[in-house]
Amino acid sequence: MAGRGGARARPRPRPGPGRGWRLAGEAPALVPVPVASPSPFQCLERARGLRDLSGDGGVRKEELRPGRGPVVPPAASVAVKYSGYLEHWNEPFCTNCYSKSPGLMKLGKDITLGGLEIGLLTMKKGEAARFVFTPDYAYGRQGCPPLIPPNATVMFEVELLDFLDSDESDTFFELTAAFSILGRNPSTEVEQCQINAAKLLVLLNLSLTYLKLERPAQALAYGEKALEIDQRNAKALFRCGQACLCMTEYEKARDFLVRAQRIQPFNHDINNELKKLASCYKDYMEKEKEMCCRMFAPLNSSCG
């Protein structure tokens, strides 16, 4: 797999003929060292009830933690943490688990390990699983010397952090690329206005995309960048208010949403978000009150 925005790739083996692979942005490959204790691969081989995903035993799965929502759709982009193991070895030959926030990778393009793509298409957001891939679904008959031997069966531990469907992911990558291009210096004031208008649209869409990804901090950051271009942009204020509400920063959420309402007083989305904010804040205050009552209940009873 090759991640966008991940760490710089370290030296890695070249793929052999057949099903190839690429894992850019991964931690340095570790040279396997034999150990006496059972490896993760051996533990998995002894586990019962492995699910045959390919129908020929080439891709088998053990669910470690269930996920939620729909499974990953074809051509989606995924954010995953993974570690790959060779048979009889305890250390992973590839992993990105040292990265705090793995980038999005597109199925069929950035992930080219056949078995892994089949496995990911069965996973849900938040799910963790182990997969065993035979050579035909991994590195082929020749392997990837010197690290992957010929005809190697491998095991991958995978955690699906998040995913975007095909349309959303394509839009996301187009927006991030466009935003990079729009960073050039204008030659005239007219060109500056055109660039600002384009930037504003990109920033608003990026803010919305991060809200859909349930990453409100990034959504707020892009919303605030949009406000640097246009302080009275109601949509930017609305996005910032939504992000703050997701982060339970109620005062900031109210400030952004009230400012948006002043600009567009009859906007249903803004007014509904203010109602939602009021309801969330009321629940928050009631829980705070209940907590205080529980904390001081012993004192009140002893005073009585």
**pLDDT tens, position by position, 90-104:** 889 999 888 777 777
Ramachandran region, residue 49 (left: φ > 0; alpha: ψ -120 to 50; beta: rest):
left
Tens digit of each residue's pLDDT (9 = 90 or more) over 176-209: 666 665 566 666 787 778 778 888 888 888 888 8
Model pLDDT, residue 291: 78
pLDDT, mean of residues 37-57: 68
Contact 236, 246 (CB under 8 A): no
Q: How far is CA 258 from the centre of its chain?
A: 31
Model pLDDT, residue 290: 79
Nearest Cα to 202, choosing from 181, 216, 232? 181
Q: Which two tokens stand for residue 281?
A: 């804040």
Phi, psi for 136 (deg, rounded to 5)? -65, -25
Tens digit of each residue's pLDDT (9 = 90 or more) over 268-294: 999 999 999 999 988 888 887 777 777
Model pLDDT, residue 233: 95
Question: 30 falls in which pLDDT band (50, 70, 90)?
Answer: very low
3-state secondary structure of 161: strand
3-state secondary structure of 205: helix
Tens digit of each residue's pLDDT (9 = 90 or more) over 212-242: 878 899 899 999 999 999 999 999 999 999 9
Q: Is the pLDDT of residue 42 over 90?
A: no
Contact 93, 147 (CB under 8 A): yes
Q: How many Å apart are CA 115 and CA 134, to the nearest integer?
A: 8
Model pLDDT, residue 190: 78
C-alpha radius of gyration, the chain, whole number: 25
Contact 19, 138 (CB under 8 A): yes
Phi, psi for 72 (deg, rounded to 5)? -65, 125
Paired sense of beta strands 68-71 and 124-125, if any? antiparallel
In eight-state DSSP terms, residue 137 is G
**Sequence-ordered list of residues with C-beta below 8 angstroms from that of 172, at least 6 positions apart, any chain:** 77, 104, 164, 206, 209
Q: Which two tokens stand for residue 210?
A: 């991060």
Model pLDDT, residue 298: 59
Q: What stretches of 14-138 show up as alpha helix (H) in DSSP?
A: 40-46, 114-120
Contact 118, 53 (CB under 8 A): yes
Nearest Cα to 216, choosing from 244, 176, 249? 244
DSSP run (H or E) holding 83: strand 77-86
DSSP run (H or E) holding 154: strand 154-164
Angle at alpha carbon of residue 165, lines to 59 and 58, rounded to 5° = 5
Q: How many Å apart are CA 161 and CA 195, to the nearest integer?
A: 34
Q: Which two tokens stand for residue 81?
A: 């943490």
Helix pair angle (216-229, 189-212), 10° resolution: 160
Higher pLDDT, 260 or 5: 260
Q: How many Å apart are CA 160 and CA 65, to the nearest integer?
A: 10
pLDDT, mean of residues 134-139: 93
